[in-house]
Amino acid sequence: MTAAPASPLLSWYRAVKRDMPWRRDVSAYRTLVSELMLQQTRVETVIPYFERFTAEFPTVQALAAAPESRVLELWAGLGYYSRARNLQRAAQAVALAGGFPSTVEGLRALPGVGPYTAGAIASIALGLPAALVDGNVERVLARLHAMPDAGAALRRRVWEQAEAAVLAAEHLEVGSAGDHNQALMELGATVCTPRSPRCGSCPVATGCEGRGDPERYPAKEAKKASPTVSATALVQVVEGRVWLVRRPPGLLGGLWEPPITAQWLADPGESVGAVTHVFSHRKLIVDVRVRSGAARAREPQPLPEPVLTTGAYVEEAWVPLGEVEFRALSRLAWKVLDAARAAGFSSGTTAEPER
């Protein structure tokens, strides 16, 4: 009986795969080290680090017993030191247990090992029929199956497809999951690239549903528009002093500002324009109003509630314009004061606030 021919993807991978030190002498330990080093770092950068690291710590026991300072020294330059610490903690857990876990679930319990790394160790080093998805695999599968989804829905579908593809590969050739996974990653890295994929040289082009317009996939997740909130700011200057209030705990908590509120203000003054300020989840549009007088104006009582926070302002002060810069003001407050100043507003008795 002859073996079934390898899939076009596997044949292609075995013919063209790039030489990498962790592909030469495969073990769970070397796969773990290489995969953690490769997170957010290019292959060419990782190679010398991997060689130095595994020369000094050739086994999981050697790494487990090493002083952390030495591990970090050998990692220096790769950045994201939490990966190095997790790697050593994982090595210590493996050394303590007397060997690597033999299941994907067991691998996932190791520090720093997520679904991708667990799938890589299981399939590449342990020969298990486990799937993995990284950015390259996601792009290739999204294009191969012309997936219209984005975000979490896309990730779910890609994982399902990756698992189905691993089972199909195993059906053709038992023990080929590791090569199959690496073939998908290699295809994404060298042929099915984010921009200008080389469909004419692709081993799976015949069955690719996204080939006509590959860069359409994977679909980008639509950015949620930030909700817009409107508010009114009142810049009130009397006899060279500006009325400032201090925000309660919460957004911009403890900072001073001219009152900026979504509440109705009695006698709101004259509008001099609007300023926009974008917080992480909100866009704020503030109608800046000014009011002045020869005598101290009667401020609203009680103090109003600042926009985007619950609870009233906690303190108020009439601050000489020349001393405003010594108070802790938010960028939003300065934008409001700048808008008032640009409109030529002042009490006419002292200098404008300086920054």
Nearer to ligand SF4, 205 or 251 (CB): 205
Helices 43-56 and 68-75 meet at what angle, rounded to 10?
A: 150
CB neighbour class for 64 (10 Å; exposed up to 12, middle 13-18, buried from 19): middle
Q: How far is the CB of 214 from ligand SF4 (least distance, A)?
A: 3
Nearer to ligand SF4, 143 or 157 (CB): 143
Q: How far is the CB of 200 from ligand SF4 (least distance, A)?
A: 8
Nearer to ligand SF4, 83 or 157 (CB): 157
Tell me, residue by residue from 187 to 216, as one string, x for binding to ligand SF4 by CB under 6 A and - for no binding.
----xx----x-x--x-xx--x-xx--x--
Tell me how long the chain is: 355
- Which among 143, 173, 169, 170 is positioned nearest to 158, based on CA atoms? 143
Q: How far is the CB of 192 from ligand SF4 (least distance, A)?
A: 3
Nearer to ligand SF4, 89 or 211 (CB): 211
Q: What is the CA radius of gyration of the chain?
A: 31
Nearer to ligand SF4, 124 or 184 (CB): 184
Taking CB under 6 A as the criterion, which residues in 44-73 touch ligand SF4?
none
Nearer to ligand SF4, 144 or 234 (CB): 144
- Give the binding-site size for ligand SF4 (rule: CB under 6 A): 14
Which sequence positions are flagged as catalytic?
35
Determine contact, residues 180/6, Cβ cutoff 8 Å.
no
85 in contact with ligand SF4 (CB under 6 A): no
What are all long-range contacts of 249-252, with beta carbons under 8 Å and residues at least 24 apart? 249/311, 250/308, 250/309, 250/310, 250/311, 251/279, 251/308, 251/309, 252/306, 252/309, 252/330, 252/332
Euclidean distance between CA atoms 5 and 13, whole angstroms: 14
- Which among 135, 142, 179 is positioned nearest to 16, based on CA atoms? 179
Taking CB under 6 A as the criterion, which residues in 92-111 touch ligand SF4?
none
- Which of 94, 144, 177, 339 is close enough to bind ligand SF4 by CB under 6 A? 144
Nearer to ligand SF4, 184 or 307 (CB): 184
Residue by residue, DSSP assigns 282-318 as -EEEEEEEEEEESS-----SS--PPTTSSS---EEEE
Q: How far is the CB of 35 from ligand SF4 (least distance, A)?
A: 23
Q: Which two tokens stand for residue 146?
A: 């012309």
Determine contact, residues 31/46, Cβ cutoff 8 Å.
no
Cβ neighbours for 115, distance < 8 A, ≥ 6 positions apart:
108, 132, 133, 159
Coil, strand or helix at 203:
coil
> Given the rule CB under 6 A, which residues bind ligand SF4?
140, 143-144, 191-192, 197, 199, 202, 204-205, 208, 210-211, 214
